[in-house]
Structure 1
Amino acid sequence: MDIYYIILVLPALAFSLYCQFKVKGTFDKYSNYGNARGFTGADVARRILDKNGLYDVAVVPTAGSLTDHYDPGKRVVRLSESVYYSNSVAAIGVAAHETGHAIQHKVQYAPLSLRSGKEES
């Protein structure tokens, strides 16, 4: 095995796994706390999108855990079922985060196109 591979890739992989573990742990912790208004992740996503004039961006549930993402090509926010249907603090935080990507897309935030790997209109 090449020494540069060990020096560069393995620490990056370890850091990535650590971050993933921390995100899941934090999500699990705050999944036990409901929000005072009782809004679900889907409710919060829709409200944020509407407040920003993004009426054409759909919010849909998707299978899996923490599979939430914004698809700029199809203009859809996909929320995992544990976010879409839940009224936990964790769920509304994830929903708000994902709708933030739709807002970034609207204002043509350059790093979003780098992250998604393509130009979207």
Structure 2
Amino acid sequence: MLRTLFTALIFLSTTIFREKRMLLIFADRPGNQLVKKQKDILDANVAGINERDIEVLTYYEGKDRVQFQKRSVKDAFTVILIGKDGGEKYRATQPITLSKLFGIIDAMPMRVQEMKSRP
């Protein structure tokens, strides 16, 4: 019962309009070196991640089977960017660089508005 509720909450948290953009990292196992590489890339500019309202979530095959199925993830490593509107904006099977990630986000209409409204 509790697991079903938890799964439903995770599903809702990734499908409804959000205040944050989401970078979803999927891997076949916790020791996947591409996960480490992706996290190292993101850790290099935490201020930029925070400024762009990015929440990073990591899912592992088996433990997070529902998310793998929901997002149709079949590779040993996949990274998916979800916009504030809930739509998938980017997907790759290799870590995304900060310049690519920030470039995609900074071109989004909501982000353009955010940049205009911030002092």
**Given the two structures, how large is their TM-score scaled by the length of structure 1?**
0.32
* Larger helix percent: 1
Q: Which has the larger radius of gyration?
A: 1
**Given the two structures, how large is their TM-score scaled by the length of structure 2?**
0.33
